[in-house]
């Protein structure tokens, strides 16, 4: 199965839920794509991770606010052709990715 995760927190951020899910799914033979914020330092194992430009959240700099705009979101979805999309967080990336899915359904 081809699975896309859309999240507003991902490695190297300490919230590693998606990273653990990704590792578990990959170990079971699934192909996993992650759409996540860009951080000042690269995260470990960025293979298959699409990073979006982001800025620190005012008052909580560990969280990044990602730009949901750009044709690369739609292109990434088209190229990967996921069987399942899991929007993990409620930030700006989720609605944009969901809209891209609606446009291609």
- pLDDT, tens digit, for every residue of 24-73? 999 999 999 998 888 887 777 677 788 888 888 888 877 788 877 777 77
Two structure tokens written together for 9:
């927190």
More confident residue, 88 or 97: 88
Helix boundaries (H) for 1-105:
17-27, 71-80, 93-103
CA–CA gap between residue 28 and residue 60 (Å, rounded): 35
> Tell me, what's the pLDDT at 105?
52
- Looking at the DSSP assignment, which residues form a beta bridge with residue 56? 64
Q: What is the pTM of this model?
A: 0.79
Return d(Cα 64, Cα 12) in angstroms, integer: 11
């Amino acid at each position: 199965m081809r699975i896309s995760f859309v999240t507003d927190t991902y490695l190297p951020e300490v919230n590693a839920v998606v990273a653990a899910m990704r590792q578990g799914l990959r170990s079971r033979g699934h192909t996993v794509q992650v759409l996540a914020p860009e951080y000042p330092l690269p995260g470990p194992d960025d293979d298959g991770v699409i990073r979006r430009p982001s800025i620190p959240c005012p008052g909580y700099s560990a969280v990044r606010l990602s730009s949901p705009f750009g044709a690369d979101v739609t292109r990434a979805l088209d190229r990967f052709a996921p069987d399942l999309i899991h929007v993990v967080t409620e930030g700006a990336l989720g609605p944009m990715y969901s809209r891209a899915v609606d446009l291609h359904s």
